[in-house]
Amino acid sequence: MESPLPVIAVTMGDGAGIGPEVVVGALADAAVYERCRPLVIGDARRLREAALARGASVEVAAVESVARARFMPGRIDVIDLGLLPDGLEWGKLSPAAGEAAYQYVRVAAELAVAREVQAICTAPLNKEALHAAGHIYPGHTELLAALTGTEEVSMMLSTPKVKVIHVTTHIGLIDAIARIDPGLVERTVRRGHQAMRASGVGTPVIGVCGINPHAGENGLFGAGEEETKIQPALEKLRADGIDARGPLPADTAFFLAGRGDYDLIVAMYHDQGHGPVKVLGIEAGVNITVGLPVIRTSVDHGTAFDIAGTGAAEVGSMIEALCQAADLAPGATG
């Protein structure tokens, strides 16, 4: 009988960074296998090296397909693409590692679109290495959108205290303000509302940040962006029964969310959302891409070249990312 647990494709990330170590560390935890069936897309030899660095007693087993995986605690199943060169140095930028990281995501996306896996969970890649390999994407979010033919997605960061979805992400602040318009704000809030409903929040309370200090303070700051770019979207959303409140001063919105007033905060630009979230819980933070045809979660940290290969990387964020992927994934079919 087919297991009801979802199959999660776990991409190994940049092989020169801490991706292999956090993958091994997370999958060495037997409790993970009570929540999902993880299958790594990566490099078996590098995972064995990471296990040695961490002192993890696990078997790394190369498999040819999802059907060949056994999903047993103490054993890490991996579709081994064999793309990393011998002697790849830990903590050093490598175009070869960037190319491999891209291919791990590509294969995972193909498996997800084909419904062979129910979700994707990504270890960190290095943007500079990705670009050096000729794949010019700002990050996983945009890469997965391209691979799945998705026109527009949103980045959501989730911690035990606060969840934040971003209207804009990896663009400069001036460009972000220019890009924000009522349509984009409305679509972002709707994606966030849908994601919260899918995670079990029946009637999400959503706090929407302003752009300017004190949300413009009735035109005192800025050029009326709150009134022209945000307020029209909120009026439409409320008319449809979505509890979207704002525009809110961002410096108090996160405090209020942290004490439970809001289920989700909508940030207008990258640092407005990322800064508070990382203060509140980077160790257990999870990055969720909202709007893809597949579930995708990720750790909320980078490749940490400075500690790669030492076995010191924290694995809490990867475990939480796997658990949230399992919670959000549709039931496995068999």
Residue 90 and residue 16 in contact, taking contact as beta carbons nearer than 8 Å: yes
Put simply, whether the predicted model's pTM sits higher than 0.75 gets the answer: yes
pLDDT band of 332, cuts 50, 70, 90: very low
* Domains of the chain, first to last: 1-153+290-334 (3.40.718.10), 160-281 (3.40.718.10)
Instruction: Calculate what percentage of the chain has a pLDDT beyond 90.
Output: 78
How confident is the model at residue 322, as a pLDDT? 95
Residues linked to residue 264 through DSSP beta bridges, in sequence order? 206
How confident is the model at residue 330, as a pLDDT? 73
pLDDT band of 285, cuts 50, 70, 90: confident
Instruction: Calculate what percentage of the chain has a pLDDT beyond 70.
Output: 97
Three-point CA angle 97, 36, 291, nearest 5°: 70
> What's the average model confidence in pLDDT over 73-88?
97
> Residue 145 pLDDT more than 50?
yes
How confident is the model at residue 3, as a pLDDT? 76
Burial 128-161 (b: 16+ CB within 10 A, else e): ebbebbebebebbbbbbbebbebeebbbbbbbee
How confident is the model at residue 141, as a pLDDT? 86
> Residue 79 pLDDT more than 70?
yes
Question: Nearest 5°: phi and psi at 243?
Answer: -85, 80
pLDDT digits 0-9 by tens, 49-65: 999 999 999 999 999 99
pLDDT band of 283, cuts 50, 70, 90: low
Residue 277 and residue 157 in contact, taking contact as beta carbons nearer than 8 Å: yes
- The region of weakest confidence among 198-202, 218-222, 285-289, 327-331 is 327-331
Question: Nearest 5°: phi and psi at 40?
Answer: -80, 140
- Mean of the per-residue pLDDT values for the chain? 93
Question: Nearest 5°: phi and psi at 240?
Answer: -95, 10
CA dist 231 → 48, 76, 221, 227, 244 (Å) = 53, 49, 16, 5, 10
Question: Nearest 5°: phi and psi at 167?
Answer: -70, -40
In the numeric block, which tokens belong to residue 287? 């990055």
| Greatest mean pLDDT among 153-167, 239-253, 292-306 | 239-253
In the numeric block, which tokens belong to residue 48? 């064995």
> What's the average model confidence in pLDDT over 167-180?
95
How confident is the model at residue 334, as a pLDDT? 39
In the numeric block, which tokens belong to residue 57? 């007693």
Query: CA-to-CA distance for 204 and 167, rounded, in angstroms?
Result: 18
